Structure 1
Amino acid sequence: MYVYYIIAVILVVIDQITKWIVVKNMELYEQITIVENFFYFTSHRNKGAAWGILQGQMVFFYIVTTIVVIGVIYYMQKYARNDKLLAISLSFVLGGAIGNFIDRIFRGEVVDFMDFIIFGYDFPIFNVADSALVVGVILVLIATFLDEKKKGNKTV
């Protein structure tokens, strides 16, 4: 079971290192082209959630993140012991939640830097923790679907 917590720790370390590199080496709003008209590193800060919603609501984020972290650890201990996919999924959610929580506690904002333009749409700038959260949630949905299918639930 500890291997899944190690996955979360590795994700937090990668997230924090990449954010540190951006903070130390780029000016705020500076942009570095990786793939022209598709992928850029853009130094950005976010005091809210995805797409900049709930700007400045730090107490709300502290409470929600604490609840999420406790809930994920509980689910990992109770339900993911015999389900590798669910355990990996929750590891990603845990790592992502903690990565952004660290930013909110120590910086008062989240460092974002991955900036994609997809089919002309400038997708909101995000970071490694955000990516881990999205991958984790998608994997949780897949694990849930597969579990329901395995149980023979025809409504899925």
Structure 2
Amino acid sequence: MKGYSKPLILITIILLVDQLSKFWVKMNMTIGQNFKVLGDKFLIHFIENPGMAYGMEFGGEYGKLFLSVFRIIAVIGIGYGLHYMIKNKYNRGFILNVALIFAGALGNIIDSAFYGLIFSESTPYSKAVLFPDGGGYASFLHGKVVDMLYFPLVSGTFPTWFPIWGGENFMFFRPVFNIADSAISVGVFLILIFQKRYFKEEHTEKTGVNSEILED
């Protein structure tokens, strides 16, 4: 298990925080309800989406099923890749970044696969119930992803001379997301930022191994 401990701990922490936050929101808030955390700049804003990260959607029932199956295949692939990287002693930072992406993808799959089975429907007028008598609101793989983190940091109106959007309202940052989305984004961002360091070390290690073989 050497090399697996830190990635597994990170994945477990991300999943626990993600699922606990989603369970709390589902059982304590109605759709569209807000809680202010830092004034108007950081809110807990409960929405659900049947599609992708940051509130984006992938149309229709078949689209939802396709997306859920695609997520499962992707997570299996990422999980296998993570195992391969650990086994072959890739850069530790790179492994932890991939673990973040894996945890985030798995966190949202849990919503899609099981929330429709174990929760009643959340509405603007009623909170969800866990394990309702009449069964859940959707079938396997058709559950909705819970989003709640909202950072409307800057809002205003584009000046009238601004191309295309002149006179229209704007807001940054508009998407509502969750811990799983954040883990995926952070993992991808860190890989992009430090990719030269990660892959330079891999190249150096492999070059060193090849040199030793040739010398022998």
Please state which band the TM-score falls in when normalised by the shorter chain.
Answer: 0.7 to 0.9
1:130 aligned residue (177, 181, 199): 181
Counterpart AA for 2:147: D
Aligned pair count reads 152
Q: Which runs of 5+ in 2 are unaligned?
A: 116-142, 156-170, 205-216
Structure ranking higher in helix proportion: 1
Q: Alpha carbon RMSD of aligned pairs, Å?
A: 1.8
Measured after TM superposition, the shift of residue 137 of structure 1 is: 1.0
| Cα distance in structure 2, aligned partners of 1:19 and 1:125 | 13
Query: Which structure has the bigger radius of gyration?
Result: 2
Which has the bigger relative contact order, CA under 8 A and spacing at least 6? 1
1:53 aligned residue (52, 57, 60): 57
Name the SS of the counterpart of 1:79 in structure 2. Answer: helix
Aligned to 2:30: 27
1:141 aligned residue (158, 170, 192): 192
| Cα distance in structure 1, aligned partners of 2:95 and 2:37 | 33
1:91-110 counterparts in 2 under 5 A?
91-107=99-115, 108-110=143-145
- Percent of pairs identical after alignment? 30
Bigger drift between 49-58 and 7-16 goes to 49-58
Counterpart AA for 1:75: G
Measured after TM superposition, the shift of residue 149 of structure 1 is: 4.3
Measured after TM superposition, the shift of residue 129 of structure 1 is: 0.4
Match status 1:78 vs 2:72: no
Name the SS of the counterpart of 2:152 in structure 1. Answer: strand
Name the SS of the counterpart of 2:30 in structure 1. Answer: coil
| Cα distance in structure 2, aligned partners of 1:63 and 1:112 | 20
Structure 2-normalised TM-score?
0.65
1:117 aligned residue (138, 141, 152): 152
